[in-house]
Amino acid sequence: MAERPPPPPLSDAPLAPGLYVVATPIGNLRDITLRALDVLQGCDLLLAEDTRVTSKLLSAYGLSKPLARYDEHSADRAGPKALALLAEGGRVALVSDAGTPLVSDPGYRLVGEALAAGAAVYPIPGASAALAALTLAGLPTDRFLFAGFLPPKSAARRTALEALRDQRCTLIFYETGPRLRACLSDMAAVFGDRPAAVARELTKLHETCIRGPLSALMADPALEEPRGEIVVLVGGGAEAVATEADADTALAEALRRLPPGEAAAEVSAQLGLSRKDLYRRALALKGAK
Ligand code: SAM
């Protein structure tokens, strides 16, 4: 059997003082950067959302560090301790259980407090389920909106979805298996049958991505109550196309205030329709009076 290559050497260069926001794998343990390992090795204090989860990551890379819990329940205790260390010129690293801290994970408050105290904050980029899912969903990637977790109850979820209905970009949501079906059904009710994708267990053994219109995803038996971690992506709303009736309504209103040429120019700017065509229509509407 071929021998395993030795682990890559970590840097001996001392870390600059500051708060390091360190991304960790979302499944496959090898999805960690060399720089992240440098920081985990070189920091004075490692803040972890769940110390048991982070201990496993450290031991996979032969590292050991004093760990303190940092989540919404422990922020009042762990935050001041970290800020005191930063004030003394220490190096504090923050990790969550998986992916990039602060992205639907703890850390926003600590980063704000560190910045307010004048500490340096360094990002150590790496995995994030939202971006990993975007890269394989097959939906447009030029513009996207990360919406995190939707409310668990249907009425509040539909209200949240309605606020996103007119967004023209790909929408990205975090979701759980037990709620997936109800969530897809609310999305279809609010958005209509848009193209979508459900990305599951990314970078893990059972990684899948099912793509199709929301109606097909709702009917897919594999998505009945899937296990594991899930990202749902939905295509953006289509550009609303102004109809002739829209143009007539807008022109009739403008003609009450303006001569045909100016009315046509105003409506053309409003609806994105041809000014020449609108002028002809404006003359016809005026003549019909
Ligand atoms: N901060 C993390 C990040 O950058 O991706 C996200 C943390 S959030 C508490 C956890 C949610 O992320 C899961 O419920 C799921 O929606 C999504 N997620 C995390 N890992 C995933 C994976 N391997 N595959 C698909 N979705 C994942």
* Tens digit of each residue's pLDDT (9 = 90 or more) over 114-131: 999 999 999 999 999 999
DSSP state at residue 99: B
> Regarding beta strands 18-22 and 121-124, do their DSSP bridges make them parallel or antiparallel, or are they unpaired?
parallel
Hey, which CATH number is domain 130-234, 1.20.1280.50, 2.60.120.330, 3.30.950.10, 3.30.2290.10? 3.30.950.10
Residue 279: phi and psi, rounded to 5, are -65, -45
Largest CA distance in the chain: 91
What is the number of the ligand 1 atom nearest to the C-alpha of 176?
14
Do 197 and 207 contact (CB within 8 A), yes or no? no
Q: Which two tokens stand for residue 205?
A: 């053994």
pTM, full prediction: 0.83
Instruction: State residue 272's pLDDT score.
Output: 65
Q: What percent of the chain has pLDDT over 70?
A: 95
Closest CA to 128 of 255, 40, 229: 229
Average pLDDT over the chain, rounded to whole?
93
3 band by pLDDT with thresholds 50, 70 and 90 = low
What average pLDDT score do residues 71-79 get?
A: 94
Question: Per-residue pLDDT for 206 more than 90?
Answer: yes
Question: Per-residue pLDDT for 1 more than 60?
Answer: no
Q: How far away, in angstroms, is 229 Cα from ligand 1 center?
A: 6
Burial of residue 208 (number of CB atoms within 10 Å: 0-12, 13-18, 19+): middle
Instruction: State residue 246's pLDDT score.
Output: 84
Question: Per-residue pLDDT for 156 more than 60?
Answer: yes
Q: Which of 49, 208, 231 to mutate to test the pocket of ligand 1 (most atoms within 8 A of CB)?
A: 231
Instruction: State residue 6's pLDDT score.
Output: 61
Helix or strand run (H / E) with residue 277? helix 275-288
Q: How far away, in angstroms, is 151 Cα from ligand 1 center?
A: 16
Instruction: State residue 11's pLDDT score.
Output: 85
Question: Per-residue pLDDT for 283 more than 60?
Answer: yes
What is the number of the ligand 1 atom nearest to the C-alpha of 101?
1
Q: How far away, in angstroms, is 41 Cα from ligand 1 center?
A: 25
Q: How far away, in angstroms, is 14 Cα from ligand 1 center?
A: 32
Instruction: Give the separation between CA 97 and CA 50, rounded to whole angstroms.
Output: 6
Q: How far away, in angstroms, is 49 Cα from ligand 1 center?
A: 14
Picking from 4-18, 105-119, 137-151, 206-220, which range would have the lowest pLDDT averaged per residue?
4-18
Question: Per-residue pLDDT for 10 more than 90?
Answer: no
Instruction: State residue 112's pLDDT score.
Output: 98
Domain boundaries of the chain, sorted by first residue:
18-127, 130-234, 244-287
Closest CA to 27 of 254, 208, 235, 216: 208
Q: Which two tokens stand for residue 68?
A: 């303190």
Of residues 2 and 61, which shows the higher confidence score? 61
Question: Per-residue pLDDT for 245 more than 90?
Answer: no
Q: Which long-range contacts (CB under 8 A, 24 or more apart) does 106-110 make?
A: 106/49, 106/70, 106/71, 106/72, 106/75, 107/21, 107/70, 109/75, 109/79, 110/19, 110/47, 110/70, 110/75, 110/79, 110/82
Q: Which of 26, 202, 209, 227 to mutate to test the pocket of ligand 1 (most atoms within 8 A of CB)?
A: 26
Instruction: State residue 287's pLDDT score.
Output: 83
Q: Which CATH class is domain 18-127?
A: alpha beta
Question: Who contacts 104 (Cβ-Cβ below 8 Å, separation ≥6)?
Answer: 148, 149, 174
Ligand 1 pocket at CB < 6 A: 26-27, 96, 98-100, 103-105, 128-130, 174-176, 199-204, 229-231
